Amino acid sequence: MSIDNLISEAVARAVKELYGVECDPKSIVPQTTKKEFEGNLTIVVFPWVKAARKSPEQVGTEIGNWLVDNEPAVDRFNVIKGFLNIVIEPTFWNSVLKHIESTPDYGIIPVTDKSPLVMVEYSSPNTNKPLHLGHVRNNLLGYSLACILEACGNKVVKTNIVNDRGIHICKSMLAWLKWGDGITPEKAGKKGDHLIGDFYVLFDKHFKEEIKELMAKGMTEDEAKQASPLMQEAREMLVKWEQRDPEVRSIWSMMNEWVYAGFDETYKRMGVSFDKIYYESDTYLEGKEKVLEGLEKGIMYRKDDGSVWADLTGDGLDHKLLLRSDGTSVYMTQDIGTAKLRYADYPIDKMIYVVGNEQNYHFQVLSLLLNKLGFKWGKDLVHFSYGMVELPEGKMKSREGTVVDADDLMDEMVNTAREVSCELGKLDGLTAEQAEEIAETVGLGALKYFLLKVDPRKNMTFNPKESIDFNGNTGPFIQYTYARIRSVQRRAAEEGIEFVDYMSVQPNEKEISLIQTLADFPQTVAEAGRTYSPSLIANYVYDLVKQYNQFYHDYSILKEEDPAVRSLRLTLCDATARVIRTGMALLGINVPERM
């Protein structure tokens, strides 16, 4: 049993015995005592003041005295207004450490047959360009969230919906036909997604030239866009695609395969994966069918022009278009179709969409529509909404060809990690292969940690130089601390140090603080799962690492002469390393064994 649960149950017994009040121990949540007060855990006593008919100070004192008399783990206490600060008996922390050390997968709740099934959708790329910095944040948040939810005892299915149809795809296809001269990724020596992205940019370049020429002839910008021969060709190609024209479909399939191969490389290097990938080209017709079914049931209505709408004014929203007058579907319809296919594939209990905050309204509408159409999880779907990520130079603009490419960004991070590590001597004595592996681990760890440590709801600026710093709240600082602990453990093994019983050792203040932080890990994972917040894990691991480094700086480990104290400290090293490794894995970050 964790120390928090132990105290919660003891306080529940105290309250019942002292005041005759029955309360669920789960409703009593001890907090870590603020640093300015003496104590390890703090209980708020205000909930029982009315039943006791006494002042908060009196209630706190009575509960504190009861705990000292009846709970061996409690050494002493103090009361500040309505806050009961509890000091845990120092040697009791040894049993807490022993529990942590002896618990396989500490902090992780195992998945069972009865676990709820949560589906997490993330990535959602378009097949007309490579993944960019915005996708990087999306993928890292989605993958980390899936790991955290699984650690909280949920079955998790990671899904991706690929936007592989529409006018933007036709733009790349048309540009390739006009100016590609049969080029392939192999001939170009380029990843397929980059090659197709080049043609998307090329289309836009020629399109802008046409607009300029037409405006010079007296057209307005809107008139020029409508009259553009290039755009008309792209629209005609889309119609042919919709009509399943064999030639258009053949080019579409070939170019998409190039892009998928490129995406796969990027995902692999980024360390993210999916259990199931859905394609918009498969789902948009399913959505249309579901909307027409809703029309028959009176959930939707048809206008005189033939378009189909949903009236959501009764839900505080507006009227939402679902099928255009020509019968073609909109994004909302496609999302309904994707939901239909997913629900057929999996017994979903909760659906989480990892999509930027510019789509907040879209998911409000989707939730209402899915609920009206009978999807049991529709009403409670979660839109994991996150803010925009920028580089210090400014926003990304893919149509102008200035997109911050995910592959280039990862290359830059690894190169910077290699340079910084060399300058600091972190790669000394390693083979070229080991040094390269560490540069990759540190560079990608820096990228992931910097993006995940921030509250996802906030817009953020990603600064590559700041992220690769071996001091401060960064991935490399945490990774280096882990490697330092592993070095201590290797030296202990080389020296043949034997572990002895440490239960009678009275740990010092920094050791107690470190054990208490380790004891908070399961609660932190649970809270991160409850609030969908990888940043809680990131900042917890940083705090743990800071405390370990203070302990490491102040106390000898291998040179400690008392075998019991040395064993306590080596056990602390091992437990800290395990929690760092587990916490970073929940963020999708690897930790190096040596640096």
Domain of residue 543, CATH code: 1.10.730.10
Taking each helix axis from N to C end, the angle separating 133-151 and 521-531, rounded to the nearest 10 degrees, works out to 120
Which of 206, 239, 273 is at the close of a domain?
273
Which of 258, 273, 288 is at the close of a domain?
273
Q: What CA–CA distance (Å, rounded) separates 290 from 59?
A: 60
Contact status, residue 253 vs residue 261, Cβ threshold 8 Å = no
Segment-wise mean pLDDT, segments of 10 residues, the chain, 595 residues? 89 96 93 92 95 95 97 96 95 94 95 97 94 94 98 98 94 96 96 96 95 93 93 93 95 97 97 96 90 94 95 94 87 93 95 95 95 91 92 53 80 92 86 92 96 93 86 94 97 95 95 95 96 97 97 96 97 98 98 91
390 & 455 share domain: no
Which residues are paired to 163 by β-bridges? 126
pLDDT of residue 401: 47
pLDDT of residue 75: 95
Q: Is residue 142 part of a domain?
A: no
442 & 345 share domain: no
Q: Is residue 558 part of a domain?
A: yes
530 & 418 share domain: yes
422 & 296 share domain: no
420 & 528 share domain: yes
Among residues 56, 42, 44, which one has the least CA distance to residue 86?
42
Segments forming the whole domain that contains residue 202: 165-273
pLDDT of residue 392: 77
Q: Is residue 99 part of a domain?
A: no
pLDDT of residue 387: 92
Which of 89, 105, 132 is at the close of a domain?
89
User: Alpha helix (H) ranges present in 183-245?
Assistant: 185-188, 192-216, 221-227, 229-242
Contact status, residue 73 vs residue 4, Cβ threshold 8 Å = no
436 & 564 share domain: yes
pLDDT of residue 329: 82
Taking each helix axis from N to C end, the angle separating 521-531 and 563-586, rounded to the nearest 10 degrees, works out to 10
Q: Is residue 154 part of a domain?
A: no
Token pair for 469: 């710093």
pLDDT of residue 1: 67
65 & 191 share domain: no
Q: What CA–CA distance (Å, rounded) separates 101 from 94?
A: 10
530 & 390 share domain: no
Among residues 40, 23, 21, which one has the least CA distance to residue 31?
40
Q: Is residue 416 part of a domain?
A: yes
223 & 171 share domain: yes
CA angle 307, 362, 321 (to 5 degrees): 5
Contact status, residue 147 vs residue 190, Cβ threshold 8 Å = no
In this structure, what CATH number is given to the domain that contains residue 357?
A: 3.40.50.620
Q: Which three-class secondary structure state does DSSP give residue 12?
A: helix
Q: Where are the beta strands (DSSP E) in 260-366?
A: 276-279, 301-302, 308-311, 319-323, 350-356
Q: Is residue 382 part of a domain?
A: yes
User: Alpha helix (H) ranges present in 424-520?
Assistant: 432-452, 464-467, 475-494, 509-519
Token pair for 48: 């029982």
Taking each helix axis from N to C end, the angle separating 406-423 and 432-452, rounded to the nearest 10 degrees, works out to 120
Q: What are phi and psi of 485, to 5 degrees?
A: -60, -45
Instruction: Report the domain count for the chain.
Output: 4
pLDDT of residue 97: 96
pLDDT of residue 400: 46
413 & 532 share domain: yes
pLDDT of residue 429: 84
- Helix, strand and coil in the chain, % to nearest 5: 60, 10, 30
pLDDT of residue 466: 87
Contacts with 64 (C-beta within 8 Å, 6 or more apart), sequence order: 77, 78, 79, 84, 86
Task: Please report, in angstroms and rounded to a whole number, the separation of the first and last CA atoms in the chain.
Answer: 36
Q: Is residue 101 part of a domain?
A: no
366 & 301 share domain: yes
Q: What CA–CA distance (Å, rounded) separates 534 from 115?
A: 21
Contact status, residue 139 vs residue 263, Cβ threshold 8 Å = no
Q: What is the pTM of this model?
A: 0.92
pLDDT of residue 63: 97
261 & 326 share domain: no
Q: Is residue 560 part of a domain?
A: yes
